[in-house]
Amino acid sequence: MIRLFRFKGMKVFIMLLDCFIVYASYLLAYKLIFGGDIPQPEWSSFLDYAPWLGLFTVVPYYMFYLYDFAGRQKPAAYLYNLVLAHLVFVAELIVLNYWLKTFSLPRSVVIIAFFTQLILTFGLRLLIFFIQSRGMGRKRAMVVVSREHSDILLLEQMLTKGSAWLDIQYVIAMGEGEDAPPGSMWEDIDAALLAHALPAETKSSLIRTAGTRQIEVLLIPDFYELSLFNAEPQQLDDLMVYSIMPPHLTLLERIMKRSIDLFISSLLLLAASPVMLLMFILIPVTSKGRALFVQERIGLHEKPFHLLKFRSMIDNAEQSTGPVLAGDGDARITRLGHFIRATRIDELPQLINVLKGDMSLVGPRPERAFFISAFKLELPHYTYRLMVKPGLTGLAQVKANYTTSPEDKLRYDLLYIKNYSPLLDLRILFQTIMVVLKREQSRGVRAETNAPGLGLEQMLNTAAAELPAASKQLHG
């Protein structure tokens, strides 16, 4: 049943329902305000706006991922996105009013229609969620991990964040050549989650077994598997092959991206100039040092550039520590710095970097050479993210948190590069609005909850204690 909502035809049907809801909401609002006798000027004004209402609904809904029904989203996430999309809808009406210069919609009508539309569209999403939950719901799951440290961290995540969707029955640690879980375990589960560090042969065997038993597989992709995304199928004589190119943007894509960068960053810089001027005054007044913080970062093709930020920490914060990431509750952050970091005001000077061509509006976040050298040793595919310009925001920033591991962020960055389109950039820019409003995604790095030396056996024992039913087992 869940796959029903992934079909384009069904999404178009839901878009049409959303359009019907917006027109019904405004007609209901007019009825409530004016009764059955709507004044002619009011009705003429509505007819001027009517052709735009459906478009103004569908576009922000699409930008805020309200037509993406493939993920395990909680109703609260839909409601949050709907509120933001409706605020954009109202902003679109205001712009249209100044453009058409016609008799505007009454405020009372707009307010009533706003809440009516919000309630009805949220009700539609709740219905979709209910239908999906019947097919997806909270499934009995088996988690299969390797003996790598990254998989141990994954296990910890599944026991916390994944508990809303996965009722973990078994946790199994497997290595190369080890026997697959016995048939009795497969009979107790509805889904199998496979960690990325498992050997390829082990994954293949588990997926094959799950397929024969009609069990869903949740696969965390390795970077090799991620490279197959959008690979082009080709034919060599009678041999089918996949053409896999290194992640990069074509010449046309680079031209389009640069044009969008110049246009939008100019508008944003103009709109943000009063706030930026205020920061140039407040930062030196509230803490010793200059307002602007300049730091060398690594950009396209590993070329260094000077990144601009408003200073949110004390002056010379790393003089005694060397390069370190900001921590949650970091004492080096000033009182004003906490505010400008949470609201992302400290990032505004990077619009100048975008105009200069050092950065793009959307792309992987730029890092310092010190951290890149460390990441390369741990993540050989890290170099791929340097094949495009770094960005002010990116897919990793809107899908993950500041505390998400570099490995998981790299997956999002590579997915963005391989799936690039101007429309994707616009969607990410809209999603950045959500990130700015969510404090959780701006928190610093937290200390590890587990001791550095915690091994697989200790982690499995911890998992055993947290599994709710006495009949549940761990193997490895």
- Average confidence (pLDDT) over 151-160: 69
CA distance 470 to 355: 60
Confidence of residue 200 (pLDDT cuts 50, 70, 90): confident
pTM: 0.74
CA distance 69 to 11: 9
CA distance 438 to 309: 20
pLDDT higher than threshold 80 for residue 99: no
* Strand order across the 473-475 sheet: 216-219, 191-194, 139-145, 166-173, 473-475
Helix then strand then coil, in percent of the chain rounded to 5, is 55, 15, 30
Between 186 and 104, the more confident residue is 186
Instruction: State pLDDT tens for residues 322-373.
Output: 666 665 566 778 888 888 888 889 999 999 999 999 999 999 999 998 889 8
CA distance 161 to 449: 14
Domains of the chain and any CATH numbers: 2-135 (no CATH), 139-220+453-475 (3.40.50), 251-442 (no CATH)
CA distance 429 to 438: 15
pLDDT higher than threshold 60 for residue 221: yes
Q: Give SS3 for 249.
A: coil
CA distance 211 to 205: 10
Q: What are phi and psi of 175, to 5 degrees?
A: -120, -175
Looking at residue 249, what is its pLDDT?
80
- Average confidence (pLDDT) over 296-314: 92
Confidence of residue 267 (pLDDT cuts 50, 70, 90): very high
- Average confidence (pLDDT) over 252-265: 92
Instruction: State pLDDT tens for residues 24-61.
Output: 999 999 888 887 778 888 788 788 888 889 999 999 99
Cβ count near 308 (within 10 Å):
20
Burial readout 157-167 (b: 16 or more C-beta within 10 A, e: otherwise): ebbeebeebbb
User: What percentage of the chain carries pLDDT values higher than 90?
Assistant: 25
Q: Which of 375, 382, 348 is nearest to 268 (CA)?
A: 348
Burial readout 113-122 (b: 16 or more C-beta within 10 A, e: otherwise): bbebbbebbb
The amino acid present at 445, given as its one-letter code, is V
Looking at residue 173, what is its pLDDT?
81
CA distance 381 to 361: 23
- Average confidence (pLDDT) over 129-152: 74
The amino acid present at 146, given as its one-letter code, is S
Beta-bridged to residue 296, according to DSSP, are 306
**Cβ–Cβ under 8 Å, residues 346 and 336:** no
Looking at residue 204, what is its pLDDT?
86
Of 115-124, 178-187, 287-296, the one with minimum mean pLDDT is 178-187
Looking at residue 280, what is its pLDDT?
94
Tokens of 196: 């990325």
What is 254-279 written as a DSSP string? HHHHHHHHHHHHHHHHHHHHHHHHHH
Of 161-175, 251-265, 384-398, the one with minimum mean pLDDT is 161-175
Looking at residue 381, what is its pLDDT?
83
- Average confidence (pLDDT) over 71-76: 72
Q: Give SS3 for 239.
A: strand
The amino acid present at 66, given as its one-letter code, is L
DSSP E strand boundaries for 323-408: 360-362, 391-393
Phi-psi region of 394 (alpha: psi -120 to 50; beta: other; left: phi over 0): beta
Instruction: State pLDDT tens for residues 428-475.
Output: 998 888 777 765 555 555 444 443 344 555 555 555 555 544 334 455
pLDDT higher than threshold 70 for residue 321: no
Beta-bridged to residue 243, according to DSSP, are 232
The amino acid present at 210, given as its one-letter code, is A
Tokens of 73: 């989203």
**Cβ–Cβ under 8 Å, residues 232 and 248:** no
Q: Compute the radius of gyration of the chain from its Cα atoms.
A: 26
CA distance 457 to 463: 10
Between 118 and 445, the more confident residue is 118
CA distance 358 to 237: 44
Mean pLDDT of the residues in the chain: 81
pLDDT higher than threshold 80 for residue 72: no
Q: What are phi and psi of 464, to 5 degrees?
A: -60, -40
Q: From the DSSP assignment, how many helices (H) and strands (E) are in the chain? A: 16, 11
CA distance 59 to 41: 28
- Average confidence (pLDDT) over 6-18: 81
**Cβ–Cβ under 8 Å, residues 115 and 32:** no
Looking at residue 362, what is its pLDDT?
95
Looking at residue 304, what is its pLDDT?
95
Of 120-134, 223-237, 444-458, the one with minimum mean pLDDT is 444-458
pLDDT higher than threshold 50 for residue 123: yes
Cβ count near 228 (within 10 Å):
11
Looking at residue 329, what is its pLDDT?
62
